[in-house]
Structure 1
Amino acid sequence: MDDTTTGQEYWDARYGEHDHLWSGEPNAVLVREVTGLEPGNALDLGCGEGADAIWLARHGWRVTAADISRVALDRAAHHAATAGVADRVDFQRHDLAASFPEGTYDLVCTAFLHSPGEDMPRAAILRAAADAVAPGGILLIAGHAGPPPWDPDAHPHAHLPTADEVLASLRLPDGAWDVLLSGEHERLQTAPDGRAMTRTDNLLKIRRRRT
């Protein structure tokens, strides 16, 4: 990604290179942390090809799903229709640095909202995500804790904050939120050459208090 390429151009091109960029399965941390919650309305930021949004819809949530890439959103809408949940997911194109979905939500989630360049104001976007959480609602932020083990020099300019750094960057008012989980975890991921490798990610889960 160079200085002349916009975020939408970069991601449209990347999605356009593959029939599917991701596995099609929901993120395991989303499934683990959301299972058991009372379904309501959810916001999925950086929804990609829609696996998380579709899983949420299948489990009773009404979902607004946003991404910068029209290619990804068209693919996600097709997958949602195939899964029979098209009426429960509203796919919206947003460059989150410039626009943000309206409304408040019982669940706001984002998984691996990273950019290969330095142009995405991730902390500001996550503050907007926190602002979109309704009283009693959950904010769930999953991120990479480091580069992929098969390419340790990948994206040298991308800052990958810890969960505690993400929490601090949200600038939450005192006494307004409860921290339910903040830390690192490991998961197996398949490298491009087919090897199974361990990758470290982090997760922040917080709840906005009702009063």
Structure 2
Amino acid sequence: MTTDAPNPANSSSYDADYWDERYAGRDRVWSGRPNATLVAEITGLTPGHALDLGCGEGGDALWLARQGWRVTAADISGVALERGARQAAEEGLADLIEWQRHDLAVSFPEGRYDLVTSGFLHSPGEGMPRERILRDAVAAVAPGGTLLVMGHAGPPPWDPDGYPGVSLPMADEVLAGLSLPPGEWEVVRCEEYERSQTAPDGRECTRLDNVVRVRRRPAE
């Protein structure tokens, strides 16, 4: 695949400006490493075409491409997408990743995918209907494909009031919100888990996250 230039027309200005400013304020916002849960859940699957929703600077998308996946990587921030595309080019992965700018509340990548991932798709404000976006993700999974949703199950312990208005559901709530058609899906994993995270003041804290992995049954 070729690397497309981000399209600002697909983004709502308030949220796009917020995320562009956040990324532009630092050389790198995220670590660049893939989510450990993604690695654990996806290792062993046969590579195909993957969709990474809310890809940020591309840590997960780049890891998937290194494993042989063709990836469509979508995010609201043009700054983040440009960083990801630049690293993909440096690693010789540009032909495996298509970078698309989307405000997922307004537009969604076209096509059907063998793997759709959503890693910590949380955003401040009221502009992002997360549950509806995840139902769009369900519809984008091809027969025999996998949907992997990773998210926070509560606010960070160092800032319990720091996520006003942001949905941080438990795993069973995420699963229920997907509205999976009966008989078409297999639930592979649906649970909360604890992980260590360093607080801004340097303390090591325990964060509660969740993972939902479901597989669409192959067409008969």
1:1-211 residue pairs with structure 2 within 5 A?
6-211=14-219
SS of corresponding position for 1:78: helix
Which structure 1 residue ranges, 5 or more long, are not aligned?
none
Using the alignment, how far apart are the partners of 1:86 and 1:194 within structure 2? 36
SS of corresponding position for 2:187: strand
What do the CA deviations read for 1:41-84 (whole angstroms, capped 9, x no partner)?
10000000000000000001000000000010001111111222
Q: What is the TM-score with the length of structure 2 in the denominator?
A: 0.92
SS of corresponding position for 1:6: helix
Alpha-carbon shift at residue 5 of structure 1 (Å): 6.5
Using the alignment, how far apart are the partners of 2:193 and 2:173 within structure 1? 16
Counterpart of 2:112, as a letter, is T
SS of corresponding position for 2:214: strand
Counterpart of 2:182, as a letter, is D
Using the alignment, how far apart are the partners of 1:51 and 1:82 within structure 2? 14
Identity rate, percent: 65
SS of corresponding position for 2:65: helix
Using the alignment, how far apart are the partners of 1:23 and 1:157 within structure 2? 26
Using the alignment, how far apart are the partners of 2:117 and 2:100 within structure 1? 15
Using the alignment, how far apart are the partners of 2:27 and 2:210 within structure 1? 28
Using the alignment, how far apart are the partners of 2:62 and 2:96 within structure 1? 9
Using the alignment, how far apart are the partners of 1:16 and 1:145 within structure 2? 28
Q: What is the TM-score with the length of structure 1 in the denominator?
A: 0.96
Counterpart of 1:144, as a letter, is H
What do the CA deviations read for 1:138-157 (whole angstroms, capped 9, x no partner)?
00000001111111110121
Change in 2 beyond 3 A, CA 1:179/1:70: same
SS of corresponding position for 1:15: helix
Counterpart of 2:172, as a letter, is D
Contact between 1:117 and 1:155, CA under 8 Å: does it hold in 2? no
Contact between 1:40 and 1:61, CA under 8 Å: does it hold in 2? yes
Change in 2 beyond 3 A, CA 1:191/1:83: farther
Alpha-carbon shift at residue 118 of structure 1 (Å): 2.2
Query: Which runs of 4 or more aligned residues in structure 1 lie more than 6 Å from their structure 2 counterparts after TM superposition?
Result: none
Using the alignment, how far apart are the partners of 2:155 and 2:32 within structure 1? 22
More moved, 34-43 vs 164-173: 164-173
